[in-house]
Structure 1
């Protein structure tokens, strides 16, 4: 399809149809390089992206393309390597590179990009089809098994990579490959006029973004058809049933978060993208109800989603076991992306609130301080003696996985992270994530100076004039704003709006006292326990911080005792909390008689008072494997 000639360097999701909020241009937002997120972007570029590329070579994901591109008359040599969706790990890494080029202008990967574009051009079929598993395994045919082969899922990630590379570097080779593939997808049906859908939703949001980049409406129409076809049980149900594939109910009727959590969240993001472009209010209403289900009854305090290992799925409402939390990293990323689209659609603070929760907790915990080891699942409790050899429930982060969807997904999100902080129009600027950096709308630029999320003091300096909107977090009771001699009290959980002039400086103070949090009584798994938060951060107690002879399982928190905030000069844990409670002696038997006293028998040892440390959940497991708890039993 013909491409529009004007190049607009934008971020990951840029609606064409006017939305409530408008994303900033790609280089109109910059995270301060020494801020927590700015340092993470630098680590991502220096360590995570190269690490992904090394492993994609080592595991054969790149070789899958070479063996097809270099195939002679006798066909490709060697065997296909990896899972059937191995292409997507390369595509997500390419997307990360596209955003990184857009952020810094780096030429580090120019030769690699040229090689990969050539390989893909040679591999792509004449009709536009491209999938190294189906094309490279004898006997496989396109879309013979759409329930599990991930062909459209893979196509979606190629499209998103091409869009990122075009926005970041004006690279047209990948975009031409992607448009040829999208043209094929747009015409694809089951022979009866129905579009073929994929067992793993993802292509929907990719097709919308390609429409936004090229102006070709066939891609939006194709995304609409994917949404409309979903939920009619056209896929083989397999051993997990139609729920697993999000094929159990039409999208507009499905108002409870069910099935495979990543698939549910990607589908929701795609449906919201479609609404943003065609204005179908029935989609928005369904997404609002679905969001209430996912975030109101099935989300962990860390912003993670998915409580069942068996099918990587949502459980029942309030089924949120901390030790058995699946909480896949990709689900937190997908939830972040969906919330961004809901924020653009509505402008409601609650969506940015959950973006922040996920980013600083569930997503931040996924990556080690080296940038080269990762969690796939993110439990909120690890027991002493946990057998963590299984890659789905490791005791510490691993360098790579057989199903390596998470590391490249992290890389692409972090490379584009500045694009999610603020929005703006000629009328003004809206700050959604209160992070150090500079964010520029057409008529107003604001520099943010802060140590947030570790400190609630924030200084905003305006260049230009217009309306400045700042989200005041729901936890920030008692927040104030000072401008000159004026001091205002601010209401938490919504946006504070004020007119600013060139040179205006505003100091926000967001009180960050440590807070004890209880779960709804229907979350039976943590009944009688409390979590500790400070600002947007969830804290955890780790075995590494306890004295010899005391196990995490012995701790009982004293909720009446003061909590002390400690600032330390470590990047890993710049803020720690000191808590008080008791270490209860372990019972002599698996089950013992209950006593209302402090001891259960003459031979029992009385509980001992103890002060102990909690660190940000995001930093756990950076000192080796060991037990950990977010939810602490109380006295």
Structure 2
């Protein structure tokens, strides 16, 4: 089936008015953006506040001190390559910062950040060449020629992040006079000219530009950009790029996208490509491609995803392993891979409406995205191990760390894709809370929030969501205003929430129970101001066992509470024990006490000097007791420690 788009131009009207990262021209669900939904507090509201107050300034400071933003000044002055600093893809971190700032300005109307944003855009604009080309690593005397290293050069990848920044700006400040959208369109026009049907028949080794071009098409109405995205997706998988030591699978050039059975290769690249392929499939009505991507998502989720939602089990190539290859202590689970997974899942959710996609988004947000930044928003995990065997080392706050050191959170990395990726995700998170369709409103993620939107035929609806989730399982949706006609309010019921209950408290004093089934709790009625819909999710801690085909954790258990995965951290152990000495008692369930979840365990003494294999008696556990667990996203915040998610059974 062809991936060519219909000849009609895309209609940008809807895309412009919805302040969201993804706005398909048509889809099963319509995203509600920053103008429709506002997170007002709670778990995610607190993190958005830290992101706004600390993380964005921290990132900008490091972009300056590392020289990555001054690279644009050198380009404008004509002094490159002399003095250029950073990796070949460092331009992209500047663009991700701009995207994060654009969403934050749209969220909070921060006037100081607006001034900073415009100043950075001016520096980027000054570096753009007359024909639209924009990159500080290629194309000048003393540098490699343009487009000469598609395997590793990241030129198109960097431009993809530029396009996404421009989309964020246009959707949050339509028609802004800072010039960012014009910069992006000039660069995108050049990409279409150079890589179009009669141009270079190749693509970027790091996917990202595909979804960015699709979104740029949606925001401008120019179908050329979406057609170029479709062309990039169709070209991949035919062994076009040069082979490398990890094989062409690394950059998804071994199998055509529509023929793949699961995501493979570099985990970030694979998810970015899949997200862009969904955009292409939706805009071109390519049902065959969309069906294939759904199948790939299902197998990847079922066989190649950690309990945290993390993806990528290989350190050397930052890649997926084979089915069931999910070692805890060697988990790579890059933060950016988690964010890219959210992007892929969200697009499939909009296309089809199935709650399973929102379930994986929730798991990944709470246990990967929320895990990366420290409480102060100024240091980060790049990789997210599930078993830390050696206590970490406190990072020098002024140093730049290796990218994947699974130690303590670090303030910056030589490959610092994750900090600005986290920043743009948190700043735009309001747009992942809820959607609408012809029948009503769907709430996918739970946070204290306000929803003010319009249904079909101009029916205005105002809702307030009150919850302490995930600390507590009650989600109360109060109707502030509603049209007289009936519509459906749908609340997602997570797959782990057996026994969830839904109650409707009418403004007329009548209370009724409503069923929950198929991942949703739905109420269809003519809502009135004062109606309250309350979903009660069971939050008791639960023991989870792995599929026995996951060799690395066979004979172990993990503990979850609500959407949060819990972990055992050595700072909670008495007597100087290490997490490797703890064994869980199999028949004693976890309990909550004093705001913590506790497990009954036994601890082994120091390992004998002799042979570590023997009879049950020689390796039997020693002292019994109980230990408190910590939410995985909070581990590493109390100093150097060892940690594990999967705990062996006695």
Q: Compute the TM-score of the two structures, normalised by the length of structure 1.
A: 0.93
How many angstroms apart in 1 are the aligned matches of 2:599 and 2:424? Answer: 37
Give the secondary structure class of the aligned counterpart of 2:514.
strand
Task: Determine whether 1:272 maps to 2:300.
Answer: no
Encode CA deviations 1:500-548: one digit per residue, 9 max, x unaligned: 5122112221111111111111111011100000111100010111112
Answer yes or no: is the 8 Å Cα contact 1:29–1:437 preserved in 2.
yes
Say whether residues 1:578 and 2:578 are aligned partners: no
Q: Which range moved further: 556-565 or 55-64?
A: 556-565
Contact between 1:80 and 1:136, CA under 8 Å: does it hold in 2?
Answer: no
Go from structure 1 to structure 2 and tell me whether the alpha carbon gap of 1:555 and 1:492 turns closer, same or farther (over 3 Å shift): farther
* Match of residue 80 from structure 1: 84
Count of residues in Structure 1 that have an aligned counterpart in Structure 2: 618
Distance 1:472 1:2 in 2: 35
Corresponding position of 1:496? 522
Q: Aligned residue for 1:629?
A: 644
1:35-74 equivalence runs, <5 A: 35-71=42-78
- Over 3 Å counting, the alpha-carbon distance change for 1:9 and 1:481 in structure 2 is closer
Pairwise CA distance, 1:266 = 0.2
Q: Indicate the SS of the match to 1:61.
A: coil
SS in 2 for 1:134: coil
Aligned to 1:441: 453
- Per the TM alignment, residue 461 of structure 1 is displaced from its structure 2 partner at its CA by 0.8
Measure how far apart 1:426 and its partner are.
Answer: 5.7
Q: 2:482 aligns with which of 464, 487, 497?
A: 464
User: Corresponding residue for 1:572?
Assistant: none
Question: Cα deviation per residue 1:252-294 (whole Å; 9 max; x = unaligned)?
Answer: 1112221000000000000001112111012101101110221
1-side partners of 2:381 and 2:293: how far apart?
A: 29
User: Which of residues 25, 32, 40 is equivalent to 1:32?
Assistant: 40
Task: Say yes or no: does 1:14 pair with 2:26.
Answer: no
CA contact (8 A) 2:99 2:424 kept: yes
Q: 1:38 to 1:428 in 2, by over 3 A?
A: same
Alignment of 1:21-420 (within 5 A): 21-33=29-41, 35-71=42-78, 75-76=79-80, 78-135=82-139, 138-170=142-174, 171-172=176-177, 173-189=179-195, 193=199, 195-384=201-390, 391-420=403-432
SS at match of 2:119: helix
Q: Which residue of 1 aligns with 2:508?
A: none
Describe the shift of the 1:107–1:195 C-alpha distance in structure 2 as closer, same or farther (beyond 3 A): farther
Equivalent residues of 1:21, 1:347 under 8 A apart: yes
- Summarize the Cα distance change of 1:590–1:258 in structure 2 as closer, same or farther, 3 Å threshold: farther
Q: CA RMSD in A?
A: 2.1
Task: Verify: 1:475 aligned to 2:496, yes or no.
Answer: yes
On the 8 A contact 2:388/2:406 being kept in 1, the answer is no
CA distance in structure 2 between the aligned counterparts of 1:567 and 1:471, rounded to whole angstroms: 29
Any idea what the Cα deviations from partners look like across 1:323-374, whole Å, max 9, x if unmatched? 1000000000000111000000000010000000000111111111010000
Partner of 1:458: helix, strand, or coil? strand
Partner of 1:588: 608
Q: For residues 377 and 455 of structure 1, what CA distance do their matches in structure 2 show? A: 29
Selected match of 1:607 from 606, 615, 622 = 622
Distance 1:377 1:606, change over 3 A: closer
Q: Unaligned regions of 5+ residues in structure 2, if any?
A: 1-8, 395-400, 455-459, 506-510
Question: How far apart are 1:27 and its partner, in Å?
Answer: 1.5
Are residues 551 and 492 of structure 1, via their aligned partners in 2, closer, same or farther at CA, if it must alter by over 3 Å?
farther
- How far did 1:5 drift? 8.6
The 3 A distance-change label for structure 1 pair 45 and 137 is: farther
- Cα distance change, pair 486–85 in 1 and its aligned pair in 2 (3 A): same
> Does the residue aligned with 2:138 lie in a helix, a strand or coil?
helix
User: 1:375, CA displacement in angstroms?
Assistant: 0.4
1:506 paired to 2:527 = no
Instruction: Go from structure 1 to structure 2 and tell me whether the alpha carbon gap of 1:254 and 1:495 turns closer, same or farther (over 3 Å shift).
Output: farther
The separation in 2 between residues aligned to 1:221 and 1:2, in whole angstroms, is 11
Give the Cα–Cα distance (whole angstroms) in 2 for the partners of residues 125 and 415 of structure 1: 31
Alignment-derived partner of residue 619 in structure 1: 634
What is aligned with 2:6? none
- CA shift at 1:595, angstroms? 2.1
Change (3 A) 1:410 1:590: farther
Please report how far the alpha carbon of residue 436 of structure 1 lies from its aligned counterpart in structure 2 after TM superposition.
1.6
Aligned partners of 1:190 and 1:196 also within 8 Å: no
The answer to whether the Cα contact below 8 Å between 2:597 and 2:629 also exists between their aligned partners in 1 is yes
**Post-superposition offset of 1:135:** 3.9
Question: Contact between 1:477 and 1:492, CA under 8 Å: does it hold in 2?
Answer: no
Q: Secondary structure at the match of 1:356?
A: helix
Q: CA deviation at 1:136?
A: 5.3
**Structure 1: stretches of 5+ with no match in the other structure:** 569-575
Output the TM-score relative to the length of structure 2.
0.91
Deviations 1:123-163 (A, max 9, x none): 21121111111145713111011110000000100000111
Structure 1: distance between partners of 2:10 and 2:536 = 51
1:475-507 CA distance string (max 9 Å, x none): 111111122332234236335343351221122
Structure 1 stretch 430-439 or stretch 609-618: which is displaced more? 430-439
Mapped to 2, the partners of 1:219 and 1:497 lie a distance apart of: 40
Matched residues in 2 for 1:98 and 1:376: separation? 24
| Deviations 1:41-86 (CA, angstroms, capped at 9, x unpaired) | 1110001111000000010111100011123xxx447321100000
1:533 aligns with 2:560: yes
Q: Any conservation in 1 of the 2:333–2:383 contact (CA below 8 Å)?
A: yes
d(CA) in 1 for partners of 2:363, 2:44: 14
Secondary structure at the counterpart of residue 593 of structure 2: strand
- In 1, the alpha carbon distance for the partners of 2:211 and 2:492 equals 27
Q: CA offset at residue 3 of structure 1?
A: 11
